[in-house]
Amino acid sequence: MTTIKNLKYHPDFNIPWCQNLLNSDNNNNIISDSIEIPTQHRLRTADTDNDNTPLHGKDAVSNSMFAQTLYTPSAIRAQINFKRGTNEADSVNKWEYCSLLSLGSGLDGKTGRAHGGFNALILDQMTGSVASMVSATTAPATATLTVDYKAPIDTPGVVLCRGWAVSRQGRKTWVRATIEDGQTGKVLASGKALFIDPKPTTTPTTTPDKSKSKSKSTSKL
Instruction: Note whether 71 and 41 are within 8 A (CB).
Output: yes
For 36-45, 148-157, 185-194, 208-217, which range has the lowest pLDDT when averaged over its residues? 36-45
d(CA 105, CA 63): 22
If you average pLDDT over residues 137-153, what whole number do you get?
95
C-alpha dihedral sign at 4, 9, 13, 15? positive
Region of residue 52 (left: phi > 0; alpha: psi -120 to 50; beta: else): left
| Residue extents of the structural domains in the chain | 4-219
pLDDT top residue among 6 and 169: 169
For 204, list phi and psi in degrees, rounded to 5: -65, 140
Q: What is the dihedral of CA 105, 147, 124, 157, to 10 degrees?
A: 30
Task: Please provide the distance, in angstroms rounded to a whole number, between the alpha carbons at the two ends of the chain.
Answer: 70
pLDDT for the residue 210: 60
Average the pLDDT over 50-57 and give the result. 46
Distance CA 166, CA 186 (A): 21
DSSP for 88-106?
A: -TT-SSSEEEEEEEEE-GG
Q: Are 207 and 161 in contact (CB under 8 A)?
A: no
Strand spans (E) along the chain: 31-36, 76-85, 95-103, 141-149, 157-169, 172-180, 187-196
Indicate the pLDDT class of residue 39, thresholds 50, 70 and 90.
very low
Is residue 36 a contact partner of residue 75, using CB atoms and an 8 Å limit? Answer: no
Q: Is the pLDDT of residue 150 over 90?
A: yes
Q: Say what the pTM is.
A: 0.79
Using a pLDDT cut of 90, give the percent of the chain over it: 56
The whole-chain average pLDDT of the chain stands at 82
Does the structure show a pLDDT above 60 at 141?
yes
- The band of 67, judged by pLDDT with boundaries at 50, 70 and 90, is confident
Q: Give the separation between CA 182 and CA 18, rounded to whole angstroms.
A: 7
| Residue 198 Cα distances to 94, 131, 165, 173, 215, angstroms | 25, 12, 18, 12, 42
Q: Looking at this protein, which amino acid is placed at residue 181?
A: D
Q: Taking 50 as the threshold, does the pLDDT of residue 166 lie above it? A: yes
- 52, pLDDT greater than 50: no
Domain 4-219: CATH class, spelled out: alpha beta
